[in-house]
């Protein structure tokens, strides 16, 4: 009875919020969760529940899986706006359930914050968990990446659903051994791409075997610590691969899985990893590859995740980077592009960003390829300017602004190609300033 009234109250509250023009975000879930922390048990779900977690790439992968299922004619419920903690997922469920807690959909697809997987799915069924990667991320908020992995490992000890893991991330593929009785562990991988290297070029974790502590041996690195590795001592890393992307073609923007060609709208290796996870996840549910092809050929997030725009005749790529790997992936794309370009880096240190900006020293700014000018902005715009100068970039070509509007105005004083990197709270304000010029 109590849960019935909680749901009723939240539905009324949702209507009031809507009338006031508010979206609700995490709010409904927060109120309901405070009222009854076990409310997740109350929902009656008969359809498959899919969750995506990672340090980077959750939103894109989650939304792409949802889009494929939509294209295949399935009704999905998803937290597409990225409210990915227990309160955000609960809000999504509260908005879509009946008063008796029944949820009518063909699939539930959720992006879940790495730290909240055990919280959300303690009392809520989970059929497929997709894990993309683990990187160092906002140390002052999240702590060491190892403690996060151990938390998920503990959760997985009793989990028997589908577990879809990135075999090329040693931090992720180790989780396949968390429950030796789980027969539903699947690994995905991406074959060597043209800019893979023999040495690690960027900050990375997981240099040692989690089982026998021997140093891992890499055949190649794709980016950060993602690559083809194995433990020379205990053979860790030698898994049977369920889906592997091959023939990665960045200029054609395509890859192949099981001889099916996927055309995409991006030339980033990082996105090909996300989409390989999408293909693998959808094939677990026997979704016809034609729906996946059709969706990926048109899929773009357009919310500052490798978003491409033309502003005042200048081709522009905007990307979120809230940790070193996110920034390094953007810079990799910039460096793989031979054209002349300019970089705008916006760095804030608001609460949601973490107050500690020391992570910028793990960004690889060495040898920026054909970058003619760097502009920095944000509450820590001077810190990032100093970081880039220290990496050896000519200081006369660096302009630091405290005012974002001025920075963006200066950036578009010419039509040279632009790469824009912004961290968490600076991303949307930066987009807004840029879109004003469109």
Task: Indicate the SS3 state at residue 283.
Answer: helix
> Which of residues 231 and 404 has its CB atom nearest to Zn ion in the complex?
231
DSSP-assigned beta bridge partners for residue 371: 341
> Which of residues 235 and 395 has its CB atom nearest to Zn ion in the complex?
235
Which residues, 6 or more positions from 150, have their beta carbon under 8 angstroms from its beta carbon?
none
Q: Classify the C-alpha dihedral 389-395-399-402 as positive or negative.
A: positive
DSSP class of 295: H
Return the closest-CA partner of residue 115 out of 158, 156, 141, 148: 148
Kindly state the smallest distance separating residue 149's Cβ from Zn ion, in Å.
Answer: 16
Q: Classify the C-alpha dihedral 86-328-238-48 as positive or negative.
A: positive
Which residues contact Zn ion (rule: CB under 5 A)?
Answer: 209, 211-212, 214, 231, 233-234, 236
The CB-side HSE value for 222 (13 A sphere, CA atoms) comes to 24
Kindly state the smallest distance separating residue 87's Cβ from Zn ion, in Å.
Answer: 39
Kindly state the smallest distance separating residue 129's Cβ from Zn ion, in Å.
Answer: 24
Kindly state the smallest distance separating residue 164's Cβ from Zn ion, in Å.
Answer: 23
Which residues, 6 or more positions from 21, have their beta carbon under 8 angstroms from its beta carbon?
none
> Which of residues 233 and 416 has its CB atom nearest to Zn ion in the complex?
233
> Which of residues 153 and 233 has its CB atom nearest to Zn ion in the complex?
233
Give CA–CA dist 150/146, Å, rounded: 6
> Which of residues 56 and 167 has its CB atom nearest to Zn ion in the complex?
167
Give CA–CA dist 69/288, Å, rounded: 10
Kindly state the smallest distance separating residue 207's Cβ from Zn ion, in Å.
Answer: 12
Task: Indicate the SS3 state at residue 243.
Answer: strand
Kindly state the smallest distance separating residue 234's Cβ from Zn ion, in Å.
Answer: 3
User: 336 phi and psi, to 5 degrees?
Assistant: -75, -10
Give CA–CA dist 225/229, Å, rounded: 9
Give CA–CA dist 237/345, Å, rounded: 36
> Which of residues 204 and 237 has its CB atom nearest to Zn ion in the complex?
237
Which residues, 6 or more positions from 408, have their beta carbon under 8 angstroms from its beta carbon?
344, 377, 430, 433, 434, 436, 437
> Which of residues 206 and 354 has its CB atom nearest to Zn ion in the complex?
206
> Which of residues 16 and 212 has its CB atom nearest to Zn ion in the complex?
212
């Amino acid at each position: 009875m109590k849960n019935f009234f909680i749901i009723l109250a939240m539905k009324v509250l949702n209507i009031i919020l809507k009338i006031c023009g508010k979206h609700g975000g995490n709010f409904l879930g927060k109120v309901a969760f405070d009222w009854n922390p076990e409310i997740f048990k109350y929902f009656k779900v008969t359809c498959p529940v899919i969750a995506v977690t990672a340090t980077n790439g959750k939103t894109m992968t989650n939304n792409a899986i949802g889009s494929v299922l939509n294209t295949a004619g399935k009704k999905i419920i998803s937290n597409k706006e990225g409210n990915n903690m227990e309160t955000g997922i609960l809000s999504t469920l509260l908005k879509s359930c009946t008063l008796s807690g029944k949820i009518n959909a063909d699939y539930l697809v959720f992006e879940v914050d790495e730290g909240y997987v055990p919280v959300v799915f303690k009392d809520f069924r989970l059929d497929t968990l997709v894990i993309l990667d683990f990187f160092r991320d906002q140390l002052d908020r999240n702590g060491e990446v190892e403690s996060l992995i151990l938390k998920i490992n503990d959760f997985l000890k009793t989990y028997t659903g589908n577990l879809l893991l990135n075999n090329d991330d040693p931090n992720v593929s180790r989780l396949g051994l968390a429950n030796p009785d789980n027969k539903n562990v699947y690994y995905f991988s991406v074959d060597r791409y043209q800019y893979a290297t023999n040495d690690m070029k960027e900050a990375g974790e997981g240099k040692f075997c989690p089982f026998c502590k021997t140093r891992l041996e890499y055949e190649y690195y794709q980016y950060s610590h993602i690559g083809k590795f194995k433990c020379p001592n205990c053979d860790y890393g030698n898994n049977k691969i369920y889906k592997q992307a091959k023939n990665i073609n960045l200029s054609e923007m395509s890859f192949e899985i099981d001889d099916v060609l996927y055309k995409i709208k991006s030339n980033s290796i990082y996105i090909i990893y996300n989409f390989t996870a999408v293909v693998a996840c959808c094939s677990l549910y026997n979704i016809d590859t034609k729906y996946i092809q059709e969706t990926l050929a048109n899929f773009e997030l357009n919310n500052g995740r490798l978003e491409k725009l033309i502003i005042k005749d200048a081709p522009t790529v905007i990307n979120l980077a809230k940790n070193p790997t996110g920034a390094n992936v953007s810079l990799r794309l910039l460096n793989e592009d031979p054209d002349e370009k300019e970089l705008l880096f916006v760095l804030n240190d608001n609460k949601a960003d973490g107050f500690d900006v020391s992570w910028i020293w793990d960004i690889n700014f060495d040898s920026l390829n054909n970058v003619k000018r760097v502009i920095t902005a944000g509450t820590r715009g001077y810190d990032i300017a100093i970081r880039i100068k220290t990496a050896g970039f000519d200081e006369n070509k660096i302009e630091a602004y405290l005012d974002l509007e001025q920075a963006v105005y200066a950036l578009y004083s010419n039509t040279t190609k632009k790469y824009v990197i912004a961290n968490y709270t600076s991303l949307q304000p930066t987009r807004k300033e840029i879109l004003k010029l469109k």
